[in-house]
Amino acid sequence: MLEKQEFAQLRKQWVPLQKPTEDALIKSGYVRWRDMGTMRAFELTPEGKKYFENTQGLFALPAMTMETTKVMPVVPIKILIKEVTGITDGRDGVKVVDYTWNFDGSAFPPEAKQFFAGGVQGQATFKMYDDGWRILSY
């Protein structure tokens, strides 16, 4: 039911990278940090353009601030619900569902696919109506 919601559909979307995934993509030559004086920009290499159409990420050296690095795969991707980890009762007959999700990593280069095996915590609320369960929020 959750995978049918808009947020999980096959579409072009930004994928935030955790440090191990970012490092694997750099080590494999798909992305790099380009020095720009007091800043560094996260950018694609020619090899990376086979898998990704764009990147986001800046690192400001004086302040040591960093923007979350992201990539946008060339092909549309979707979110996969990995596991329902709990269901509890909420108010007014609502059920609160805890689950884990992640991006479908099949569009990523082999070196990065392993980082999409885990999961990110999510929560949704459902309520029973005459015609069945409906999702109230996710």
What's the predicted TM-score (pTM) here? 0.69
**Per-residue pLDDT tens over the stretch 29-88:** 999 999 988 888 999 999 999 999 999 998 887 666 678 889 998 988 888 888 999 999
**Per-residue pLDDT tens over the stretch 44-55:** 999 999 999 999
Pairing label, strands 58-60, 39-44: antiparallel
The rounded distance, in Å, linking the Cα atoms of 136 and 83 is: 19
- 3-class DSSP state for residue 62? coil
Q: Where are the domains of the chain?
A: 2-11+75-137, 15-73
Query: Could you identify the residue written with the tokens 């569009």?
Result: 107
What residue type is 122 in one-letter code? Answer: G
And the tokens for 103? 């991006």
Question: Residue 92's closest CA among 126, 124, 133, 131?
Answer: 126
**Phi and psi angles of residue 105, each rounded to the nearest 5 degrees, phi first:** -85, 5
User: Residue 128: which pLDDT band, with cuts at 50, 70 and 90?
Assistant: very high
DSSP H/E element including 131 = none
